[in-house]
Amino acid sequence: MPNREHWLTHVAVMLRPIFSRNGLEIPLRVRLGVGALAPARRTLGACYTTCDRMGFRHVTISPFIDDPVMVAAVLAHELIHAALPADEGHGPRFRAAARALGFEGRATEVTIGPALRSELEQIVGRAGRYPHAALV
């Protein structure tokens, strides 16, 4: 059975065509993992856009979520950050990219639109069970 990082990587690979058709490229040098982000459970993910010494950006998903569609959505949100320049934050290019992918609402939140939800459900169906149980 794959671990969380394998599952996240598999989902990221399946997200590539969605990103590509919307003019974004997920960088090849991104490390994906699950870990503590902040004491507040509101933070669902983080993308460290400055590269490590080996040239990788890092994406971390909250250990407090285990719904696979939400995890895939948070991953997609963070991969938008990874695909854009390091200083973009939730600025206009991020907002445009998020809308193009199918996110709705505020750029700082993960609100999945119906078309994106359908695509994520298909991806998660192919990826299989998310091998993580949320912290309580």
Residue 41 is predicted with a pLDDT of 72
The fold for domain 4-127 equals Zincin-like (3.30.2010)
The rounded distance, in Å, linking the Cα atoms of 81 and 57 is 10
pLDDT in tens, 46-56: 999 888 999 99
Residue with tokens 């507040």: 40
36 — pLDDT class (breaks 50, 70, 90): confident
In the predicted structure, residue 21 carries a pLDDT above the cut 90: yes
- Using a cut of 0.85, tell me whether the model's pTM lies above it: yes
pLDDT of residue 42: 81
How far apart are the C-alpha atoms of 130 and 4, rounded to whole Å? Answer: 7
Q: Distance between CA atoms of 34 and 8, rounded to whole angstroms?
A: 9
